[in-house]
Amino acid sequence: MPRPTTSGPSQRMLRVGEQVRHALSETLQRGEITDPLIENAVVSVSEVRMSPDLKIATAFVSPLGVKDTDAVVEALNKHAKFVRGRVSGALRQMKYMPEFRFRLDTSYDNFQKINELLHSPEVARDLGSDNDLGIDNDKDEK
């Protein structure tokens, strides 16, 4: 009987991705990369997705405190081999050290767009007042 295929990442991929994210965050926090673009930014690593063979780690980052976020991501990709060497000390249990690829994390931007849409006058008009939804804002009334 064939195994059912799963569409999402395996438990192992998720676990290793989280371990790599912690090690990568610590490396970036220590400021070991000598690049002015990276040194002048606070880089938040929101997620690391591992390939099924665990040889490629795609890190989704959000550079904070800089205007040109794409330049910071390019600089991180330029220093990916250096980062790989620095992270290897924290990930000694892995058989192969993954190759790092950095991508800009746009999920926060998507959340902001959804929030703006939900608070727009058009949506508020369609939803009506809170009382139409059965929400009682005056809980202390008796």
Q: Is 96 inside any structural domain? A: yes
Q: Can you give the pLDDT of all 142 residues of the chain as single tens digits?
A: 556 555 778 888 899 999 999 999 999 888 888 888 888 889 999 999 999 999 999 999 999 888 888 999 999 999 999 999 888 888 877 788 899 999 998 877 777 788 888 888 887 777 765 544 444 445 554 4
CA–CA gap between residue 30 and residue 20 (Å, rounded): 15
The domain spanning residue 37 has which CATH number? 3.30.300.20
Full-model pTM? 0.71
Residue 94 confidence (pLDDT): 79
Structural domains in the chain (count): 1
| Residues spanned by the domain of 45 | 11-128
Asked if the structure places residue 42 within a domain, the reply is yes
Least Cα distance to 59 among 9, 28, 24, 87 occurs for 24
Task: State both tokens at 68.
Answer: 């040109």
- Domain for residue 73, yes or no? yes
Residue 137, domain member (yes or no): no
